[in-house]
């Protein structure tokens, strides 16, 4: 077996990227760090790094050894979490989800932390692929995705669904809108908006809609809290999940067009297999499940039928 101390020194060196700073972090001397590296290379029988001045790059063997070092760290962390008091109100937990669902979920998390002063909750808004990768790597404990994730190392539970809503300025409430009206108004685009448009418009405007690449874009914004603002100001329309609208502070300036054929996004809660039994993870899973069900109780309201 590889020497655990040498492996930890090498893992820290790769994270820090500098011999002297690694030595300071570990309470060692710089020659001590170098010695651990040489001993680990001798044990592996391969060079682990290639020096380039004061910096270095990993060899293929080094990348493999680093992966092992990171995996052992996660295993030790899981061990310590398992043997410590399993209290739903104590510890650190990371959650990842879409930006719109994060805006909806965060007030629930804040209320939970007010009741549990020793509970630390980290909420990350990220694309679905990043959320899945972070949960698999152990960087996040829980993730919310819009699709079922098939992976033998993950548990996935469907917790609800939310509607995709066509959002227009309040002034557009009088009278129905067709696709030409919307296109004349202009699309407030965002990273997920093009896929949402293909999903919703292809279903409801099959004759007129030619694809998201043909949309007249009025503006583009990638911050979920900012997306409804130009719509509220009358500068265009957008498509958002219900969670992204309900959390908007000026939603009285928005109207939602009720299309004949609604579309919904499923909500799946994912976690690494076996960790859902930890008390704090189980408690937060139940909280997220409740927030998702509250979101799905009603379709997009305050609507004007088309």
Residues 224-276: pLDDT tens digits?
Answer: 889 999 999 999 999 999 988 888 888 899 999 989 999 999 999 999 998 88
Query: Using CA atoms, how far apart are residues 162 and 192, in angstroms rounded to an integer?
Result: 15
pLDDT per residue as tens digits for the range 45-98: 999 999 988 889 999 999 999 999 999 988 888 777 766 667 889 889 999 998
pLDDT digits (tens, 9 = 90+) for 147-183: 889 899 999 999 999 999 999 999 885 456 789 999 9
Domain boundaries, the chain: 4-83, 162-264
> Residue 298: what pLDDT?
53
What is the rounded CA–CA span in Å between residue 194 and residue 161? Answer: 20
CATH number of 4-83: 1.10.10.10
Q: Distance (Å, rounded) from C-alpha 248 to C-alpha 219?
A: 18
User: Residue 155: how many CB atoms within 10 A of its CB?
Assistant: 16
Count other Cβ atoms within 10 Å, centred on residue 60.
Answer: 10
Higher-confidence residue of 103 and 95: namely 95
Architecture of domain 162-264: 3-Layer(aba) Sandwich (3.40)
167 closest CA partner among 148, 133, 190: 190
Q: b/e map of 255-291 (b: 16 or more CB within 10 Å)?
A: bbbbbeeebbbebbbbbbeebbebebbebbbebbbeb
């Amino acid at each position: 077996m590889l020497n655990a101390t040498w492996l930890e020194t090498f893992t820290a060196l790769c994270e820090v990227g500098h011999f002297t700073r690694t030595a300071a972090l570990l309470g060692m001397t710089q020659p001590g760090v170098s010695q651990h590296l040489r001993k680990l290379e001798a044990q592996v029988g391969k060079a682990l790094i290639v020096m380039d001045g004061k910096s270095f790059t990993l060899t293929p063997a080094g990348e493999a050894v680093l992966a092992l070092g990171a995996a052992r760290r996660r295993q030790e962390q899981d061990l310590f979490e398992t043997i410590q008091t399993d209290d739903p109100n104590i510890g650190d937990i990371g959650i990842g989800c879409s930006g719109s669902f994060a805006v909806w979920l965060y007030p629930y998390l804040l209320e939970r932390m007010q009741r549990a002063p020793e509970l630390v909750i980290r909420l990350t808004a990220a694309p679905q692929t990043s959320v899945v990768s972070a949960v698999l790597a152990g960087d996040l404990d829980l993730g919310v995705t819009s699709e079922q994730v098939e992976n033998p190392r993950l548990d996935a539970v469907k917790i609800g669904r939310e509607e995709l809503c066509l959002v227009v300025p309040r002034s557009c409430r009088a009278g129905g809108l067709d696709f030409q009206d919307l296109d004349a108004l202009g699309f407030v685009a965002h990273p997920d908006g093009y896929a949402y448009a293909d999903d919703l418009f292809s279903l409801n405007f099959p004759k007129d809609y030619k694809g998201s690449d043909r949309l007249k874009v009025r503006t583009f914004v990638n911050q979920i809290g900012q997306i409804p603002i130009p719509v509220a100001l009358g500068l265009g329309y957008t498509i958002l999940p219900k969670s992204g609208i309900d959390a908007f502070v000026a939603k009285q300036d928005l109207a939602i067009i009720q299309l004949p054929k609604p579309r919904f996004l499923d909500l799946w809660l994912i976690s690494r297999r076996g960790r859902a039994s930890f008390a704090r993870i189980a408690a937060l899973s139940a909280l997220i499940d409740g927030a998702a069900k509250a979101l799905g109780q009603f379709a997009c309201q305050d609507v004007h039928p088309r």
